[in-house]
Structures are given as C-alpha cells and as structure tokens.
Structure 1
Amino acid sequence: MGTVLDEPPRAANRHAVEAELNYLAPGQGRPVNYTFEPPPGTPWNSGELAPTRVTIRDARPLAAAGEFSLDRSGFQLVAHRSAVDDFSDDSVIRLVYYPEAEALLRDATGAEKVVIFDHTLRDSEGGSRANASLREPVRRVHNDQTFVSGPRRVRDHLSADEAGQRLKHRFGIVNLWRPLSVVERLPLALCDARTISPDDLVPSDLVYRDKVGETYSFVANPAHRWYYFPRLRPDEALLLKIYDSRDDGTARLTAHTAFDAPHTAADAPPRRSIELRALLFWPAQ
C-alpha cells in the first residue's frame, strides 16, 4: 500500500468526474455502525464524516489495457452472465448463484477452496439500513473487514481443525459485486490499493444482534486514486479485495463507496445490486 503511481494516460481522464466521497473526519476515535435499529438515543453511525471532492476516473480504458487486477489494484472487472434472472428468491440465490460465484472466484483467482459466507441485496429506492433483506447502498468510504477480523472469519466458518491448518497458508476475502440492472445512479467508486497508506485505515465496530464485527473506515488522503466503471451491466461483475493474508506487496484490501455521479438523469432507475462475500484459500506453497 502507498505506492506512488504515474499519472494515468489522458484517455483514462477523458471521462473523469468530480464528486464528493464521504470519508471519516480525522480524530474521531473508533466509529460504531449498527446493522439493526439501535437503542433509543443511539445513532446508527458514529464518527463525523468529511465529504471530500475527488476526481473519479473512468476505469474502462485502463481495464482494457490490463492495468487493474485483484492482486495489483485490489479490484478487477470480469465478464460473467448469471443464469439467475430473478434475485428476489433467496433459495435460488443460494442454490444457483452461489455455485456460479464459487466457480467464477476459483477461475479468477486460482483459489482451491471458496466459502461464501453471506450476500447482500441493495436497492437505492426500496432498500433501507433497517431492512436486513434489502439494504440501501453504502455512501461512505469503507472496507468490509480488517486485518483483525479477516482471520476471525476463517474461524467462524470452518471447523477448528481445518481453520488451524488454513490459517498457516495464504487466504483472503473477496466481494463479488454485480449490478442487477445497468448502473446509472449511485455507481461504485473503487480506490487503487497501491495509493492507500496504513495511516488511512480506521478500525470501526459493526454491531450485529449477536456479535460485533470490525470494518475499516478511511480518512482522506490526496494520494488516493479513484476509479469507476460507467454504466456497469448485469453481465459484468466486480471483484473487490477485502482481505489478503499475503504481505509481500500484493494488494491486501481496497476502499469503496457508492457516490452521487454528476449529471445523473432525474428519472434514472434505482441502483440495484447483489454482493457476495467469500473466503478464498490457496494451495500451500
């Protein structure tokens, strides 16, 4: 993390946009975020936000040139058409989409084992943070796990014996993010992992009804290089690096957030998406 990158070619800047991203304001301590309606008088999210205007570049020209990969930039675009055309049925998601996603993740990463541990449907019109089955897009810069909670996920989802063995070798967590219609509203902004510094990361509590997880919030850093894929389609998906145990210059995580794209048509359809989070295990080296 923290590599200084050369300025991208002008072709990548031609369709850049300026937009505000919601970073965490410095000096906020440890934020707390609830996944369910908190007790009376307790805010859903603590920690003051610092909306920061940034340039968000069109990733498509550079992606076509091979600039981005899961292990270099922390995100990657993949072409993949799902056999599922109705994501309203949870059983179909688990019986059909999960196996599809496992195969895609194995092929894209070389992992020998994939364990999907949850999925989230989002809808910018009908979703709500109070509705666990249909959430709204997240409009703050974040990463879904930390260097502490990543290994904890292995112990949560594998037997004690297998977890002990898997933790000795490389493992990771990847978010497979797919739009359910062409994205016109609230696209996803992705930060190049090579521009993130360890000082940008702020561990944050994510409170569930039965446990407290840990995610990263981010403070602003002018070195951050942001990208998005305009008009992402349902036959395209994004891989987002959430955690990687490898510490050799490989991208270990990235930052992402939904953002209000300028010039979005007033009658643009709502943004609908599904994301799967999966543990990946590679063969022992």
Structure 2
Amino acid sequence: MADEENHPPSSTLDLEVNLPGLFRPEFSVDNRQEAEKIAYSSDFSLISCSEEVVYGDEDKDAPITKIRDARPHQDSPLTEDDAASFFHKKGFCLFPQNTKVKRWNEDYLKGMVFGSDITKVYSPELESIIRNYLLPEYHVISVDCPPAVLRRGPSSRNNFYGTGVHQDYGLSLEDYKNNLKAYDFSGQAAKEVQKKFDSDQVCGVMVINFWRPIGGYTKANPLRSKPLAVCDPAFVDNGDTVHTALDATSVGGLKGKQTDQMALKYSPQQQWYYYPNMTDDEVLVFKQFEVWKDDSMDKREALPVRGVFHTAFVDPNTPEGSPPRQSTECRVQVFIGKRKEEDAAEEKWTPPAPLWPKDGSEWEC
C-alpha cells in the first residue's frame, strides 16, 4: 500500500463525525447469494433484526469517523486528467464540468417519450467524460444514460437525503439485476442487462454516479448543507458488508418487490472522504457498481468490493441558516469491452451534434 494511503495529507477541513447507519462490528453476516437479506421498512428502520445491531445517534459507544477533505489529494487547479487519474485510484473523484443543462428533468417517462435536457444535453456530456477521461483505455461498448435525474432538496420529488451509510447495487450481477427488477414495470431491464453482459464484446459492466449540486452554488457561495461522504472501496472488506433490502414501494418501486443494496459494518481501517464547498461547476463522480466476467460469479462472498459506500451527513462547520441542499445524481450504466491498443487509447470520442438548440433556448421538456 502506498505511503500516501497510509499517511494521507491532512487538511484543516478534515472532520470527525458520527456517521449514520453503521452496523456494529460484532454483527455476524452471511454474504452468500442465497442468504436472507436484512430488511428495512419504508421509514428506513430495521425490521428483520434488532436495531441494536446498528449504532444509534444517541449511543455513547458510537464510533467517531474521520472524514478527510479529498481536495488536497487531487492536484490543484482541478483538471479533467488529474480527476480521471484519481478516479482510477480511488473509485471516485471531483470532476470539473460546466454543464449546458437548463432543466433537470425528474420524470423518467416524460424523458423517454419526449426527450429532455438530460437526454439531449447531459447524456452526451457524460458519455464524453466516460469515454475520453474515465475509461479511455477500454473499448466502451455502450453508455446507457437515463432520461431523467434523481433530484434532492425542496421542490424536488425526493425532498429527503440519503442519510445512512449504504451502497445501492450490491456486489454481484444478480444483486444488480434484482435491484432493477424492483423498479422496472416492463420487466425487461434485467433481461437486457444479462443479454448485453453475455455479449462476446463485453468484458464487464459498471454503474457510474454523477452527483452534483445545482442550487446556484459558486466559489463565493458554495454548498454547505448535507455534503456527501464517500468511502474508498480499497479499504472495505467483503466481510464488513451487510446485504440489505428496502421495500421498493417506499422509493417509487413495485409493490411486493425489494431493492438489493448493502450497508456497512464499522471498521477503523475504512477511509472516508468528502469534497467541501462544492459548486455547480463540479461533479462528484463515483462507482456504484462494477463486475467483470472473470469474477468468481458463484461466490458472492468472495467478490471484491468496488462500489463506493456513501452517505449524506451533517457537516459540523455548516453555518447556521444555510439553505437545504439542492442536488442531482445521474446513474449511468456502462458496458465495457477489452483494453485498447496503446495508440487507440489516445483517440478522443466526439459527441454527436447538436447538443442543445442552436439559438441557445431551452428544450421544451
């Protein structure tokens, strides 16, 4: 392990907080594929085991977790190439990106039928980042960007924050497909994923989250309320993950279905980071899921942890009266092929034109 990872640079903005939702280290887990998942109810409380297995806000023995300011770990000033290098190393990065999106569509059906700024503007922007910076050394077979984003904050469809350490898609391809089934009214999404994954061209699949503030945040007036903390997956053991499920109807899914997610047991070896004072021109990029054909598919408990655990948290330095966070996240599914030859890796992908109306006006949807 690199010396920097054992002794990461410190910052005056490093924090020590009680992260919500961590399981106690003595909790026994069974991470086999066939094992029963720990169920949560619609209010995110545990229903299949005692809540004493999770640290509560008032527990005097709750561990204090150090959350490092990640900015000193990336070169300054922030550049695309440096951000991509950090993404390869940590599974997350802060990426500079001045988007042309004007309207952050939340309606998936409307976006599919009529299109929106997300499909016509944001999707090509993100595909360019993925192909040219995050995965330039691979043949990227397909980039599947959703027609809408998940917004959080006042006036959004999700006026709550993901406060509780979690990872959204699990470890195995079966985990990922089960999660898709919990939301898919057509019943085709999981089948399509398996079909693409089985293609001779495909070597692996990854889900990349593009998380950004959208509240008019600037360097003079940055995001201060409820930032996102992310955990370096290189410091998370499979045995510290907890296979969990959430009632899908509580989060807009199908009746009788459960999501397929993970929680985390506390371990002092885990390394947490955050990016303080984010602006609208910065996007936090992190892996939510990653699996390859040469993984040991028959043993979920042997799979490496590649998805980034994360949570919103209360920054103790947040000024009193700071407005609630306004943010979006866009989860992009990427099917990855073989590595390119060295000369091909330098070729840049150019998005199709036009990305937005030529007269500068907004799309109707």
Same fold (TM over 0.5): yes
TM-superposed deviation, 1:62: 0.7
User: Greater share of helix residues, 1 or 2?
Assistant: 2
Partner SS for 2:73: helix
TM-superposed deviation, 1:4: 10
TM-superposed deviation, 1:160: 5.8
1:33–1:206 Cα contact (<8 Å) kept: yes
Question: Is structure 2 residue 246 aligned with structure 1 residue 212?
Answer: no
| 1:6-38 Cα distance to aligned partner (Å, 9 max, x none) | 1112xx33321122201333338743245xxx5
The residue that corresponds to 1:25 in the other structure is 23
Matches within 5 A, 1:37-48: 38=42, 43-46=43-46, 48=51
TM-superposed deviation, 1:136: 1.3
TM-score of the pair, normalised by structure 1: 0.81
Tell me the amino acid that sits aligned with residue 244 of structure 2: S
Report the CA distance shift for 1:260/1:161 in structure 2 as closer, same or farther (over 3 A).
closer
Identity, in percent, stands at 25
The residue that corresponds to 1:165 in the other structure is 199
The residue that corresponds to 2:12 in the other structure is 14
| 1:240-273 Cα distance to aligned partner (Å, 9 max, x none) | 1111114699971111111100121111121111
Tell me the amino acid that sits aligned with residue 93 of structure 1: I
Report the CA distance shift for 1:234/1:96 in structure 2 as closer, same or farther (over 3 A).
same
Report the CA distance shift for 1:138/1:284 in structure 2 as closer, same or farther (over 3 A).
same
Structure 1 counterpart of 2:130, from 105, 118, 130: 105
Larger Rg: 2
2:150–2:328 Cα contact (<8 Å) kept: yes
TM-superposed deviation, 1:212: 2.1
1:126–1:136 Cα contact (<8 Å) kept: no
CA distance in 1, matches of 2:237, 2:194: 33
Tell me the amino acid that sits aligned with residue 265 of structure 1: P
Structure 2 counterpart of 1:230, from 258, 276, 279: 276
TM-superposed deviation, 1:84: 1.4
CA distance in 1, matches of 2:279, 2:312: 16
The residue that corresponds to 1:130 in the other structure is none
Tell me the amino acid that sits aligned with residue 24 of structure 1: L
Structure 2 counterpart of 1:57, from 62, 68, 71: 68
1:72–1:193 Cα contact (<8 Å) kept: no
Q: How well do the aligned residues superpose, as a CA RMSD in angstroms?
A: 3.2
Partner SS for 1:142: coil
TM-superposed deviation, 1:55: 1.4
Partner SS for 1:217: strand
TM-superposed deviation, 1:61: 1.1
User: Greater share of strand residues, 1 or 2?
Assistant: 1
Tell me the amino acid that sits aligned with residue 279 of structure 1: Q
Gaps of 5+ in 2: 30-36, 58-62, 77-81, 108-115, 181-187, 218-222, 297-302, 340-365
The residue that corresponds to 1:269 in the other structure is 323
Report the CA distance shift for 1:33/1:191 in structure 2 as closer, same or farther (over 3 A).
same
CA distance in 1, matches of 2:17, 2:321: 20
1:33–1:207 Cα contact (<8 Å) kept: yes
The residue that corresponds to 1:260 in the other structure is 314
Tell me the amino acid that sits aligned with residue 13 of structure 1: S
CA distance in 2, matches of 1:240, 1:142: 13
Structure 1 counterpart of 2:164, from 140, 160, 169: 140
CA distance in 1, matches of 2:39, 2:201: 28
Gaps of 5+ in 1: 128-132
